[in-house]
Every structure is written in C-alpha cells, then in structure tokens.
Structure 1
Amino acid sequence: MKSSPNLFKRITIPCIPDYSLLGDTYVKNQLIVTFENFPKPEDIETVQGYFHEMGFDNVKIKKCKNCDLYVQLWEAENIESVVVTKGVNSGSGSDGRTVGESYSLNFLNKIPPLDYKHSKTNSCDNSYVTEKYNKEIVKIAVLDTGLDRTIVDETYISTDNQNEPGFECFGDKKDGWNFIENSDNINDDNPGRHGSLVTQFIINQFKNITTKTVRIIPVKTHDSTGRGNLFDTFCAIHYAIARGAKIINASWGFYYYGKSSVQILDILIEKLRTQGILFVTASGNQIDEDDDKAKKILAAQGIIVTPFQLRNLAIHRFLPACLSNPAKNVVTVTTFLKDKVASTENHSNVFVDMGVKADKYQDGDQYFKVPFEQIGEDEYVRGSSFATAIATGIIGAHCSLELYTKFTINKQSFIQELINLPGSTVCSREPAMANELIKDGVCIEQV
C-alpha cells in the first residue's frame, strides 16, 4: 500500500464497477431522465420504446408538481440498472435512436447529523424586526428541512405568490412548498431544526443593514432524518426560480464516486446562471460511512489516505460543492478559525470559494453560536451547513442587486464587492488559507 502527502494533486476517486458498495447512495427502481428540450408526447414515446427494448414495460412517469419541465422521474423495477449495470455512466446519453436524453441515478443527498438538540426555550430575537419600507428586498430560497414558525421570525418569510413568467405551473401557494410530500406543509420536523437554524442564520446577517432586507422562500427538500433526493431537489430549484429567488442556499449534498459528472446538476447550474441566480452550497462534512466507502475504493488501487486527505474535495468529491470550479455562479463554503479549516469539514484551494470565521474553538472543532435568543447558557452548532447560511446572508445583505445579471452572473463579482466594502472587515484574503484550504484564501466573518 502507498500513501502520498500530495495525493490530491494526482487522483480523484474513479468510477467503480462494483456498485454494490454504493447501493445506499441512490433510490432503487428510479431513474432521472433529462431531455434536451421540453419533451413532446412523441419524444416520450420514443424513449419508452428504447426502454421497452431493454425489458422495461409499464414505466411510471413523475413530473415536478405536474409541470412540463425537461426532466422527469421514471419508475420501474430495476430501472436503475440502465446506469448501474448496462454501461451507461450516470449523466451520459444513450444512443442515436433517442431524442437527446441523459440518465442519472436518483442520488440521495444528506443533511449531516446534528449534535444540537432543539430546545423549546429558544425563541427568535425580535430586537431588529422593525423595518423601513424603502429597503431593497433580497429573496433567498432555503432548500432544507423546512421551517419551525415557533422559533423563526415570520416577518422575513416571503408571502409573494407571483410566479416568474414561464413557471405558472407551480401554482400560487404563497409561503413555500414541501417536495417530500408534495404538499404545503413546510413544518421543520428535523429534531435539530436544521432548516430553521439555517434560515435564522441568514436572517441575522440582515439585522444591522439599513438598505436591504430579506424574504425567505422556505422549500422543504429533506425529511425529518435529513434525507432528500436529487429529483425533488431539481423540482425545488425550479420552484425557487418561479418565486424569484436571487440566491439559493443549499446546506447539504452527497459524496459522489462516479468518473463522469452528474449531468442533471450541470444542467441545473446552467439554468440558474441564465436566470441570474447565485447558488451557495456547503463544502460538506465528515461522514464516517462515506469515508469508509472512499477508503475501500482507493484501497482497491493500492492507495491509502489520511483523514486530512479525505477532507480534500479533489480526493473525496462532494456535490454540488465540486461544481464551483467550472460554474461561475456556484459558491462553496467551509468554516475556518485563525489559519485552519474546521477539522470535520471539507476543504480545497480549487473548489472552496470562501471560509466563514467560527465563533468558538472547542474539543478540536469550530462552532457557531446558535442564532436564536437563548435562555441560560449559550448553545453552539458546527458544520459547513451553517457556514453556508452565514455566507448566503452576508452576500445577500452586502452585495448589490445589480450583480444578479442573467447569463453573465459571476461569483467573483460578489467576492470582490465584499472585499471592497469601505471600512469593512467582512471579507479579506488570508494567504495562510490559500495554499491548500480555500481558493485565494477568501475569508468572511459576521459583523
């Protein structure tokens, strides 16, 4: 066996032939079918014929809230084998007889487990609720476990029921949607209230801003255990577009072991770019079961890795975090303190765009103060999920609305504007972080 301190410079986890190792990373009996354009009935019939030739009949087709988008979920027994065993790599097309479709496994994505237990004694800090009506409004969609109205201030929840042109099919429900149950129940039933924490972290970044305010679009994409899937996420992102979001906060993701990209994600990010929407996502955290998979895959090549190397996104890819390199509107975020990234969070000077300064160092890790008014001793949470939310809030609160330009939106414009804020310590470049941990050493902190 061999090990190298510079492993991340020469290797990524390859596509593996043994998908049995990955059986719990995607939804069985489902396949995401993506068309080049909105499919006509004859296009769908053509693809159905192709699947019929492979032995799949009576395929059930699911749309996003019955919207005619260019992606659908096809369900049939063992249909995922088209990707897993028949040589069609996830994200790749099939043959010339079809109409330009590509296939993807319906990957599961996760919100990391929380060591924080929600306490009913926590409540929203209402000291900054009063707003002036002349503030610019920044709409931010939070794709997460939902919203607990008993602890998050509803003043900041969007109630605008107008859809953007072309997205009328999502209906007129004014205050969010649950894509897990396909209902308007957006209640946060996660024991740690992950979505509520993320939401309030975002809101708090606007509390001292005189020119802007935020309206949160709550979108429930993850169940009480923090599990979601790629198809529901796709639908939720289009819902966020329909509701006029300027930023999408994605404090979740999944480790990916395939050789090719997941084309549906590439398509999504490009769609957001054309709409002028910034996508802010987590670098990802240490998850023991995923680390074990990565070590087994690399061990099969005779390579061993250190725990620090496993946190490097160039070695252990986490999506959508790793889409930040080619996509100009994706911002990937981690946590830092002094000259170190949190030991349980991912880093990369290629894929991570910024670090958020933690509030506290304890027991070998870095923590943020819980964003609610608390009774008794302060509580703290850790994870790139919350660094992401803080970054989303800071970007939304401090950056000009003129930067959200359709087709040409560029995350570097947002970063540069934060750095150039007059007399501000919100954003800086830290050379010690740039070598291996964070791209260009960009670091931000709450004010």
Structure 2
Amino acid sequence: MGLAGIIAREEARFRDTHAKSVAEAGALEAHWLFGAPFHWMKDWAAPAAIVAARGEGATLTDIDGNTYDDFCLGDTPGMFGHARPEIARAVAAQAARGATFMLPTEEAAEVGALLAERFGLPFWQTTLSASDANRALIRWARAVTKKPVIVVFDGCYHGMVEDCFVELRHGRTRSDAGLVGQALDITRTTRAVPFNDIGALEAALAQGDVAAVLAEPAMTNCGMILPEENFWKRAQALAKKAGALLIIDETHTLSVGWAGAAKERGLTPDALVVGKAIAGGFPAAVWGVTSELAEKIAAVPRSSGRSGIGTTLSGNAMGIAAIGATLRELATPEAYETMTRNGFELGEALWAVIKKHDLPWCVIHQGARIEIVFASVPPKNAAEMRPALAQHELNHALHLYLINRGVLIAPFHMMMLVCPATTSAQIDRLVAAVDSFASAYSQESAT
C-alpha cells in the first residue's frame, strides 16, 4: 500500500487519541471560515485541527492532554520558547498602564537604542507584522529612488505582500497562484530571479529601473536554500552599482545568530526587517534603515496620517514592551549559544538516520533551524527545490507520523526549529520518530 497505507493507519490513530480536538473541530466550523481563526491553522497533516491548550518552553499540550515536543514554535514567533515569563511580565505591566496611545512611551527610546546596537542600523520603525514592514519598505524604496521595480528571488515569501507573489517559470516572471483576487499585473513591477544566480541578478538590475532587491540572507520558505560562497558579496555590490536598495528580511533567519544572518554573512543592507520572534511571540515587527536612507525617507513629501504606510496599532505600547523584553532578556548570546549547539546536534543526528536507511534525502542546517529535504543534494535555487517539495504524500505521511509520536514541526515543509529550552531528550525523541518512520517507509515501499 506504500505511503497511502501509512497515512490511513496514522489518521485512525490520530482520531483515537484526539477525540476532543476532533469534536472541537465541529464547533470551530460553525462560525470560523475554513474551520479556524486563521486558515493556516488547518494546514497541518492531521485529519482535524490540533486544539492547543497551553505551551511552556519547548513543549505544547493539546485539549486531549497529548504533550508534544514542539519544533514548530508557532512557525518561529515562539523561537525563544512558549510562555516566557519575561514577556508575560512586560506585557501585563504595560497593559495595566494602557495598551496603546498613539504616543511613544519612555521605554521606546531604550528599545530604539537596543535595536541600533544589535543590528547596526541607526533608525527604526515598528509594525504589527513582517508583512507590514516589508510592504512599507517597498513603498519607501520606490519613493526615494523614483524607480518602480523590485527584484525578489524565485520561491521567496515575505509575508502578505502583493509585490512578492511571483514565481519564475521558463525564464519568465509570472504571478503566483497564491495571489488570490489580485486585479493588477504584479509582473510589471516585480522581477523574480533564481537564488544564487549572479548573472540573472545582474541582468535584472541592468535595466536601470529597480528600486530595491528584497531578500532573505538564506531562503527559508521554498525549503531552506543557503547562499553559495561569495554570492552575497557580489549581489550587494551589483545592487549598489545599479542604485538599488538592498532590503534584507531577517524574519526567519534571526535564528542564525544574535544579530541575525546578515551580520553573520558580512552584509550591510540599506534596510532590515525583523518580524515574528522579535517580540517573543507578541504581534510586532520592526524595520530599520541607514542614516542615508533615513534622510531620503524624511525628505519624501507626505500628508500627516495619510502616507498609506503603517496602521494605528503600529508602535503600540505593549508591543514596544515585548520587543524590549525580548532584546534584553530572551535573545541573549547565551540563548543563541544553546540554540546553535542544539541545532547542530539535531542536524547531525538526522543525517545519521538518512545514511542508515540509505534515503535519497539531505539535511540543510543553519543556526537553530534545520530541514529535511527530499533530495539527495541540497538545492541551490527554487527550481531545484520544487521537485522535493512536490512529494506531497511523503511530506504528509511524515508530518502525521511525527504528530502521532508527540513531535510537532512546521506544517508547510520539513522545517524544524530549536529554542533555548529544547533538551537533548526532545531531540532524541524527534530523531527516533524519524528513524521509525524511515523503517516503516522502507518496509511499505518494498511491498
């Protein structure tokens, strides 16, 4: 029966051990479109939504009492662990004084200084999400350069930003199928190029109409794709020569190091976006710019309250408090040392399982983030990654198998993230579950 047999058995097992979640799914469907407060919550491999009860550190418990080793961590917002008391204290204290004023608080000055010290950019703004931050910087880039086009890398994802929903097929940029309900032709103002392809990037910039290159230091949403040696050194030089701004999105790659992957790789971007984990799971993001870009932004004519950039809740007092607590107490050098060590341990152990079973898979690893890719060698761009991601049945089967053995990883592909609270015992359980699946998969494939 192959993978279909594994999936059928695992779905039955899930229903037996998740009776309350299965029942709750009916209540959710009564009033929530797609059966959940947000439709991504239904993208897990389980036959019904896992209904969360609580989380603590690297552990999550559902309403059936099932406990999971959590390597998803909210798809990164919980990168420093669930229910951190530092965040709870900071947010509760500010809530008691007032949640939002559309005025800065005294702590805002200190938080700005902390951001500047850590990331090396002097001027900052806050938003509610990385989507908002990326959208704002695209707009500012076009305003200051007087150029209409942005360049992104094929397979990218920068949040719910219309300009980035493109893909490269047969050498041409086209709208991504995920861009639902879009009336305008995004390909007129966005170009996609393959990651790690300096020649393609140079050609895209040569037309002289590019306002900005927007990219992750390493791609994380089309599977994890690492930059080749010297790629970013050359790419940064090309952008500068073309008069295009370099915007780096660290939303996922903050897991690489204390100041993110850009600093680790020697990048000096014009602008930086950090979302998700920057506020310890509280909804907030930040974007920062160089002094030169800040001066150009400030010179752009705009009406007060009518720039079309930002929302009323951006920079709310509770978000500022959460960002401050994260920078001071959670995202410490010691936390990153632990996370990096745990990430290396997990990556090496998964490689051992793959070699043991002689599977045509590989492991891609950077910092606290690890991914199993269903390809024999690490892909260098989205075109090479897509065949691995297209193995939907295998992806579904392994995810569901892990869920039933008390392990959660990011539901979209085989991405794993460790936090400071992740233990060696949790890593061992994840590796054992992958090993057990590999044995079952091999046996099913042989029948």
Q: When you count helix as a share of all residues, which structure comes out higher?
A: 2
Q: When you count strand as a share of all residues, which structure comes out higher?
A: 1
Q: What range is the shorter-chain TM-score in?
A: under 0.3
